[in-house]
Structure 1
Amino acid sequence: MAAALELFGTHDAEDVSIDDVAAAAGASRALVYHYFGGKQELYVAALRSAAQELTERLRPVGGGTALAEVAAGLARYFDFVEDHAAGFAALLRGGPANRAGEVGEIVEGVRRLMFKMIINQLRAGEPGPALRITLRSWIASVETAGLDWLENRDIGRPLLERMLIGQLVALLEVAAGQDGQVREVLDEIGRGEVA
């Protein structure tokens, strides 16, 4: 599984063969086929493994202010990015063809979980359209920042995480000018909290 994640994380899935995975894992081609059936099944299993690990890391700890909880979740997200670079890259990279079916469901499942946890951490209740769009946009920014950071590593993680929390607040400020629910969320997190 680790060999598959490494290969899928650094190459397009179409360019990785079962033979490549078997060689990287020090296993026979027949053994890989025995356990996974084929490349698509192996790819899906590898992505599920990465998604499960990320999901476990994102479980909220609780006990802090709303913004502090979001920041702590972001730190755990980047712990995963750093510890499992190939799994993270494999989970998020790939062309549109890789976003259909099971693969798309895996990626969207992680995004839905992140969205739900952020809503809970912000104590926002049922999100209206403005809050939903704002948070989904921020999640996309976090994913993109993670991939860029892995590729370049030219900014420290603490600074990147502070920037992303600042971006969240800025996005909420813009949306708050248009929507009362977002204004309430922003007012709530602004009470005595420092990003």
Structure 2
Amino acid sequence: MGSISGAEERERDRPAGRGARPARRRLSVDRRREELVAAALELFGARDAEDVSIDDVASAAGTSRALVYHYFGGKQELYVAALRSAADQLEARLQPSENGGPVERLAVGLERYFDFVEERAAGFAALVRGGPANRSGEVGEIVDGVRHRLLGLVMRLLRVEEPGPVLRVTLRSWIASVETVALDWLEYRDVDRRVVERILVDHMVATLGVAAGHDPRVVPLLENLVSEHAP
């Protein structure tokens, strides 16, 4: 796979005439795949997957549809590869901090999350919009896998090994709120990002307060957060 393929040779050597694309520079297989995935993420992030065609991706990447098919086999395979790339990039940003108390660690995690949202807007939008309507198959596994790992990270920063049902529902609803807020911020950007991050920290404290009223096991977690979060 390290050598240039026949399809890519033909694409690169196509004579440039009127309306023809300029000759492409020679790229490694991995680099060419990265370019195609990046182009796909931009499109999938802006539109629903069913509204994006292989021709759209080929045009955005400045290549031929034959080359896209050569690397990915079809749109579903390309869509899965694009979402997996976005998921891997997001998870790489979210390595938990071990310094400070729960609120400080939560704030650091949100900062890293919004770094990804801001720097990889199309990838984030494509990833979030990959569910829940498309929860079946590989797409569902990728999207739900990211959310499951986010739940694990939040549990780790709260130092919870196994949440009860009330805490689990509370944390999963908070993660869904983070996604919704991030999409809203990307669309409007009329609230300072740091303010948004602080709102989400406050939101965590508030939702744990509600949960504590339904499950006494949440009370120590809330007290720990409130003691650090108090002005």
Q: Which TM-score tier does this pair reach, normalised by the shorter chain?
A: over 0.9
- Partners in 1 of 2:220 and 2:79 — Cα distance? 43
- Match of 1:191, SS state, is helix
1:142-153 to structure 2, matched below 5 A, reads: 142-153=178-189
- Partners in 1 of 2:80 and 2:205 — Cα distance? 35
Alignment equivalent of 2:139, drawn from 89, 93, 103: 103
* Alpha carbons 1:71, 1:165 under 8 Å: kept: yes
**TM-score, with normalisation over the residues of structure 1?**
0.96
1:178-193 to structure 2, matched below 5 A, reads: 178-193=214-229
Q: Which whole-Å deviations, capped at 9, do the CAs of 1:34-88 have from their partners, x for residues lacking one?
A: 1100000000000000000000001112211111111110110000000000000
Alignment equivalent of 2:103, drawn from 55, 64, 67: 67
Identity over aligned pairs, percent = 64
1:16-95 to structure 2, matched below 5 A, reads: 16-93=52-129
- Partners in 2 of 1:78 and 1:115 — Cα distance? 17
* Alpha carbons 1:18, 1:38 under 8 Å: kept: yes
Report the counterpart of residue 6 of structure 1 in structure 2: 42
Structure showing greater radius of gyration is 2
- Match of 1:63, SS state, is coil
**TM-score, with normalisation over the residues of structure 2?**
0.81
Unaligned runs of 5+ in 2: 1-36
Alignment equivalent of 2:159, drawn from 115, 123, 127: 123
Structure with greater helix share of residues: 1
Q: Between Structure 1 and Structure 2, how many residues are aligned?
A: 195
Amino acid of the residue matched to residue 83 of structure 1?
E
112-121 vs 61-70, which moves further: 61-70
* Alpha carbons 1:65, 1:193 under 8 Å: kept: no
Change in 2 beyond 3 A, CA 1:21/1:78: same
Amino acid of the residue matched to residue 212 of structure 2?
A
- Match of 1:49, SS state, is helix
Report the counterpart of residue 134 of structure 1 in structure 2: 170
Q: Which whole-Å deviations, capped at 9, do the CAs of 1:1-37 have from their partners, x for residues lacking one?
A: 1110000000111111101001100111111101100
- Match of 2:228, SS state, is coil
Matched, 1:177 2:213: yes
Pairwise CA distance, 1:95: 6.7
Change in 2 beyond 3 A, CA 1:132/1:85: same
RMSD value over aligned CA atoms? Answer: 1.3
Report the counterpart of residue 14 of structure 2 in structure 1: none
Unaligned runs of 5+ in 1: none
* Alpha carbons 1:4, 1:46 under 8 Å: kept: yes
Pairwise CA distance, 1:140: 0.3
